């Protein structure tokens, strides 16, 4: 049974809560407003009691919060608004020191109908500050993205690495089986790269690798085409839904892209840095393996190098 101090105790508890609590009457007007909200909004409760919620917080007009309040008052229905879809509906700021810039609060909101008093329906709104959780989630996502980048990106050239390529090859191989589309691969090797390193040093060699990787990547115009550093001075390109004719056309564009760099090579018969390319195409089926396609492209690359480099060869010629 409640004693004479109970109302005072309830109000003290109401003000001591570490979350925002406000109560609306059946007209949607603010009936109670706790101290936490005073601090978070910078607005005293005296000027807000009796105001409609939409006047006190005009930013809530036509929002999910306004709809949820209406459901609570008219339909006796509770609502939970997570921070994922409703990150900062109330114009509230995190409690901060005087020397810090105010930070817009990310919020999780529970809206609950209260039983009727004197035939009037009330609505309880609880606002929880989840800014720290949102920031932690963002940091974790950024770290996960960074780890993913380190796992699948070549550290020197910035393009995808062999691991990424092999996963994409397996994925596109399965897709080509389902769709009965051809799949093509280009194996690319920088011509006389060891000589280049011997003549100009490894630092210049690294710069050469970076420039050629960038030129090759820029020359691939379709978003589905994938280039990766395969190892050393070798690159590999995956061309989904591409027959041999299209494969050869793209290979010629890549040859030209590297030539147009006109990067001097002091120990090449072509006098500039060039590449050789091996092309291979297959229409995958469940009885074949993707490794065979790589082997065919590698063999075509071998013939391109045997016939003077700075050219392409395909597995069908």
As a whole number, mean pLDDT of residues 219-233 equals 96
Of the spans 58-67, 74-83, 210-219, which averages the highest pLDDT?
210-219
| pLDDT band for position 24 (cuts 50, 70, 90) | very high
The per-residue pLDDT for 99 is 52
Nearest-angstrom CA–CA distance, 53 and 56: 5
Residue 15's H or E segment, with its range, is: helix 6-16
pLDDT at 117 over 80: no
Query: In degrees rounded to 5, what are phi and psi of residue 207?
Result: -65, -40
Residue 218 or residue 151, greater confidence: 218
Q: Which residue segments constitute the domains of the chain, with CATH numbers given?
A: 6-135 (3.30.450.20), 153-314 (3.30.70.270)
Contact 246, 185 (CB under 8 A): no
pLDDT at 72 over 90: yes
The per-residue pLDDT for 1 is 47
DSSP state of 274: -
Kindly report the pTM of this predicted structure: 0.63
Residue 313's H or E segment, with its range, is: strand 312-314
| pLDDT band for position 8 (cuts 50, 70, 90) | confident
| pLDDT band for position 263 (cuts 50, 70, 90) | very high
Ranges 43-52, 182-191, 253-262: which has the least confidence: 43-52
pLDDT at 95 over 80: no
As a whole number, mean pLDDT of residues 209-218 equals 97
């Amino acid at each position: 049974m409640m004693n004479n101090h109970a109302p005072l105790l309830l109000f003290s508890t109401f003000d001591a809560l570490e979350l925002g609590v406000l109560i609306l009457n059946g007209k949607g007007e603010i009936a109670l407003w706790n101290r936490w909200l005073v601090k978070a909004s910078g607005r005293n409760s005296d000027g807000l009691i009796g105001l409609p919620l939409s006047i006190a917080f005009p930013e809530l007009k036509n929002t999910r919060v306004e709809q949820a309040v209406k459901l609570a008052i008219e339909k006796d229905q509770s609502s939970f608004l997570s921070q994922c879809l409703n990150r900062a509906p109330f114009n509230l700021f995190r409690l901060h020191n005087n020397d810090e810039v105010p930070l817009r609060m990310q919020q999780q909101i529970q809206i609950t109908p209260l039983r009727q008093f004197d035939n009037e329906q009330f609505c309880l709104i609880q606002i929880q500050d989840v800014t720290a959780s949102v920031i932690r989630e963002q940091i974790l996502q950024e770290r996960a993205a960074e780890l993913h980048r380190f796992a699948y990106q070549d550290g020197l050239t910035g393009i995808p690495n062999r691991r990424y390529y092999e996963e994409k090859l397996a994925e596109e191989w399965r897709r080509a089986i389902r769709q009965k589309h051809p799949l093509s691969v280009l194996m690319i090797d920088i011509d006389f790269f060891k000589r280049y390193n011997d003549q100009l040093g490894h630092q210049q060699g690294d710069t050469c690798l970076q420039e050629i990787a960038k030129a090759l990547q820029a020359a691939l115009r379709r978003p589905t085409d994938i280039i990766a550093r395969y190892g050393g001075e070798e690159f590999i390109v995956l061309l989904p839904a591409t027959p041999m004719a299209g494969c050869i056309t793209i290979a010629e564009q890549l040859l030209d892209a590297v030539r147009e760099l006109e990067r001097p090579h002091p120990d090449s018969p072509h006098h500039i840095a060039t590449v050789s390319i091996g092309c291979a195409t297959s229409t995958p089926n469940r009885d074949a393996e993707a490794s065979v396609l790589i082997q065919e492209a590698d063999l075509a690359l071998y013939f391109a190098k045997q016939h003077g480099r700075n050219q392409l060869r395909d597995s069908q010629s």
